[in-house]
Amino acid sequence: MIDHITVLVRNYDASKAFYLAALRPLGYELVMEFTREQIPDLPFERSGGFGAGGKPDLWLRPAESVAPTHIAFASPDRATVDAFHTAALGAGGTDHGAPGLRPQYHPNYYGAFVLDPDGYNVEVVCHTPA
């Protein structure tokens, strides 16, 4: 089981705003944020941890270059997948797959895909029947 992951981002403020809006339907919020003022030996200016229920599991860290990848978040239902997609597009994300069934994965795989400001393929998926 993965406890948390750090994603490198070129523009921390833009990515922070994107993830705050896009993941709000999943109950995510900014749980922690550290700056070099707080931690003098921090190797970057700041870092933020996002999560639901007070526990950060997605961290953003500024970097000059990134290697976009795929990140998928579990959703409790299909309506939340739809809400994520709408919120992510409203926050400046690029559509990379509208909400819908993906039966090539399994009969109940309902997901939506959006590219974040750095080109990461962010997905929210529900595995339960409608």
Tens digit of each residue's pLDDT (9 = 90 or more) over 12-65: 999 999 999 999 999 999 999 999 999 988 888 899 999 999 999 999 999 999
Supply the pLDDT for residue 42: 85
Q: What is the pLDDT of residue 100?
A: 98
The pLDDT assigned to 44 comes to 85
pLDDT at 89: 98
Instruction: Look at residue 2 in the predicted model and tell me its pLDDT.
Output: 87
**85-90-95-96 Cα dihedral, nearest 10 degrees:** -50
Tens-place pLDDT, residues 62-94: 999 999 899 999 999 999 999 999 999 999 999
Domains in the chain: ranges and CATH: 5-126 (3.10.180.10)
**b/e sequence 30-59, b meaning 16+ C-beta within 10 Å:** ebeebeeeeeeeeeeebbbbbbbeeebbbb
Q: CA 44 to CA 28: how far, in whole Å?
A: 24
pLDDT of 1 reads 73
The count of other CB atoms within 10 Å of the CB of residue 130 is: 8
